[in-house]
Amino acid sequence: MRLILLGAPGAGKGTQAEMLTKLYDIPCISTGNIFREHISNNTELGQKAKAYMDEGKLVPDSLVIELVKSRITQDDCKNGMIFDGFPRTIPQAEALDVMLKELSIPIDFVINVDVPDELIVDRMSGRTVCPSCGASYHKVNKVETVAGKCDLCGETLIQRDDDRAETVKKRLDVYHEQTEPLIAYYKAQGKVLDIDGVGTVEEVRDRVKKALGVK
């Protein structure tokens, strides 16, 4: 099974990716992890990517595709893979299609987890974390016992910059401009499964399974 997960930041793609990884026994492919692995191993591709990143530049799509190809041709991807966070743009999707066609491993389905912007802002801006032990909390889903204090170590909780409402809204603007067009792109190929991402993790998980024909 070869899948692409689409959805806005905070839509719950990562949670569903974990479930699908276990369900199909296939790896989840993240370009961030690929970059880190190549840079850590000081590969030629890693050195090229690091040069762009050190200058604060985006890694070119052509190099990203090379890095992705190096990952999905590894043995653990023989039975499939899940792309989470890639592709992000139409040019990346087009380049991925060309590469996958060359390898004769087409995408089976594109799972689009749909959650309204206002709910995403509420979800993400309600998060706090412990700077000491890393435990995470939420004003609705996981409230700390003592307000503003970590249950595990007692440290004062903080809100990460990425989780502030104004930051979340900016990230959503980028998503709508750059990544959302991928939904129409893959719908034209007849591969999109639209999933209502509102509800509990279990409810969304069951919708994904049903869409994939898993009992």
Answer yes or no: is 213 a known binding residue: no
Per-residue b or e along 2-16, where b marks 16 or more CB atoms closer than 10 Å to that residue's CB: bbbbbbbbbbbbeeb
Q: Is 127 a catalytic residue?
A: yes
Answer yes or no: is 21 a known binding residue: no
Q: Is 164 a catalytic residue?
A: no
Tell me the three-class secondary structure of the chain, residue by residue. CEEEEECCCCCCHHHHHHHHHHHHCCCEECHHHHHHHHHHCCCHHHHHHHHHHHCCCCCCHHHHHHHHHHHHCCHHHCCCEEEECCCCCHHHHHHHHHHHHHHCCCCCEEEEEECCHHHHHHHHHCEEECCCCCCEEECCCECCCCCCECCCCCCECECCHHHCHHHHHHHHHHHHHHHCHHHHHHHCCCCEEEEECCCCHHHHHHHHHHHCCCC
Answer yes or no: is 137 a known binding residue: yes
Answer yes or no: is 199 a known binding residue: yes
Q: Is 207 a catalytic residue?
A: no
Answer yes or no: is 106 a known binding residue: no
Catalytic residue among 78, 160, 170, 187: 160
Answer yes or no: is 46 a known binding residue: no
Catalytic residue among 48, 69, 169, 171: 171
Q: Is 88 a catalytic residue?
A: yes
Answer yes or no: is 136 a known binding residue: yes
Answer yes or no: is 86 a known binding residue: yes
Catalytic residue among 88, 164, 169, 209: 88
Catalytic residue among 13, 123, 205, 207: 13
Answer yes or no: is 128 a known binding residue: no
Answer yes or no: is 31 a known binding residue: yes
| Binding-site annotation: residue ranges | 10-15, 31, 36, 57-59, 85-88, 92, 127, 130, 133, 136-137, 150, 153, 160, 171, 199
| Binding-site annotation: residue ranges for ATP | 10-15, 127, 136-137, 199
| Binding-site annotation: residue ranges for Zn(2+) | 130, 133, 150, 153
Q: Which residues are catalytic?
A: 13, 88, 127, 160, 171
| Binding-site annotation: residue ranges for AMP | 31, 36, 57-59, 85-88, 92, 160, 171
